[in-house]
Amino acid sequence: MKKNSITTLNQFIADQQNKFPYVQGSLSRLFGAIQLSAKMINRDVRKAGLIDILGNFGETNVQGEEQKKLDVISNDVFKKLMDMSGDCVCVVSEEDQDIHWCPDGANAKYILAIDPLDGSSNIDVNASIGSIFSIFKRLSPDKPVNEEDIFQKGDRQVAAGYVIYGSATMFVYTTGSGVNGFTLDDSIQEFCLSHPDIKTPENGNILSVNEGNLNEFPQGVIDYISWCKEDNKADKRPYSARYIGSLIADFHRNLLKGGIYMYPPTAKAPNGKLRLLYECNPMAFLVEQAGGKASNGQMRIMDIQPTEFHQRTPLIIGSSNMVDQVIKMMAGEAGGGNR
């Protein structure tokens, strides 16, 4: 990035299109629609307290969770803009039971998976929340899209990213050639390149996990958490505990500073809480592109074969050496320290 120059997300995508043939016209148009969705959701999030849209919608989503009004609004915004784009075959969303087929998308190339507003329990308390997206290419232009197209492994994602509605609004994405972050300049309503080529440190000293569930975690995870609290100057232990309960906020901080986020299996939820298609796959693509790792404790997240829309998986994600250490300890291998 040249000093004193501004690169908007649109300019950046246009440049990428020249460099990488796979960022073709329709993918950049799809990005345009995602970007506009993000701006519209950002507008609503920013005035959520002013226009009676805070609080519960009064219904539960397909997974029995209470939906917030902003969850519903964000889901509708994404679907409407995908419909208008003409570049998206269908949308699968954490908030919907069924596939949303875009009316003019029968011949389009791309499939969008979204968590339209993640961390929504934080809306009422004005903490950071975000939208997560993952893009796949349909398997064949000649056959109608079916579940096989949607249940592709994360490794086949064409692009993924998130928009964080935090103290600033940022758009962070990858198309498989690094990770770049853009901050929304409110005055011109443009996302401008602020975090080029993000690389996450190999080692970090931040631990993000809901320790309230500690007694239900596998022994290896419990051991790892105790290990993080031990004194060891060489690797900056004890680590700092930071957990806000909003995946994007915890992930974003750890991506930039170095750290680990875990949502391990628990006795009550052996597959954890987070969804493979809408949360884990896109975050895994981003973290790997930034030099980090993402695992379910046994295998790489992006190698998991999806079999259900709302499939859940444990998630261990962040700085590569930290993820390796958890995996080692989950496998019962010595982790060091005085266990």
Residues that bind ligand AHM (CB under 6 A): 65, 94, 115, 118-120, 210, 245-247, 273
Q: Which stretch binds Mg ion (CB under 5 A): 77-85, 110-118, 144-152, 260-268?
A: 110-118
Closest CB to Mg ion among residues 306, 335: 306
Identify which of residues 202 and 216 has a Cβ nearer to ligand AHM in the complex.
216
For Mg ion, the nearest residue by Cβ is: 118
For Mg ion, the closer CB: 118 or 223: 118
3-state SS track over the chain? CCCCCCCEHHHHHHHHHHHCCCCCHHHHHHHHHHHHHHHHHHHHHHCCCCCCCCCEEEEECCCCCEEEHHHHHHHHHHHHHHHHHCCEEEEEECCCCCCEECCCCCCCCEEEEEEEEECHHHHHHCCCEEEEEEEEECCCCCCCCCHHHHCCCHHHCCEEEEEEECCCEEEEEECCCCEEEEEEECCCCEEEEEECCCCCCCCCCEEECCHHHHHHCCHHHHHHHHHHHCCEHHHCECCEECCCCCHHHHHHHHHHHCCEEEECCCCCCCCCCCEHHHHHHHHHHHHHHCCCEEECCCCEHHHCCCCCCCCECCEEEECHHHHHHHHHHHCCCCCCCCC
Shorter beta-carbon distance to ligand AHM: residue 23 or 225: 225
Smallest gap, in angstroms, from Cβ of residue 120 to ligand AHM?
5
**Closer of 141 and 245 to ligand AHM (Cβ):** 245
Tell me which of 87, 95, 118, 190 binds Mg ion, using CB under 5 A: 118
From 13-21, 37-45, 118-126, 297-305, span contacting Mg ion (CB under 5 A): 118-126
Q: CB under 5 to 8 A by kind: which of ligand AHM, Mg ion, none does 288 bind? A: none
190 binds Mg ion (CB under 5 A): no
Interface residues with Mg ion (CB under 5 A)? 115, 118
